[in-house]
Amino acid sequence: MMPEAIVGLGFIILAAIGLRGSLLALGIGWALHGTWDYVAPMVLDVSYVPWFLEPSCIGYDFIVGLYLILRSRGQFAP
């Protein structure tokens, strides 16, 4: 439980920075969440998570993260 709480705190901090106006922080947070979703099953017991959730969440997190990062750099119109 402690690793998840520590990682969760990091995501909360990035979200707070993002909500104050940093699309880059939000994008990095989404992409890092996708990374966490990929790594977590290797280091934690996540047997309580349905089998389909991991791949769908990873894909969604990376797509949203990439979009926000590119948008923060002006490569997509709002």
| pLDDT confidence of residue 59 | 93
Residue range 31-51: average pLDDT? Answer: 88
Is 40 part of a structural domain of the chain? yes
Is 54 part of a structural domain of the chain? yes
If one counts the domains in the chain, the total is 1
Residue range 34-58: average pLDDT? Answer: 88
Is 23 part of a structural domain of the chain? yes
Residue range 16-21: average pLDDT? Answer: 85
Is 45 part of a structural domain of the chain? yes
**Distance in angstroms (rounded) separating the CA atoms of residues 23 and 72:** 5
**Residue 72 and residue 66 in contact, taking contact as beta carbons nearer than 8 Å:** no
Which residue range is the domain that position 49 belongs to? Answer: 13-72
**Distance in angstroms (rounded) separating the CA atoms of residues 42 and 13:** 24
**Residue 58 and residue 38 in contact, taking contact as beta carbons nearer than 8 Å:** yes
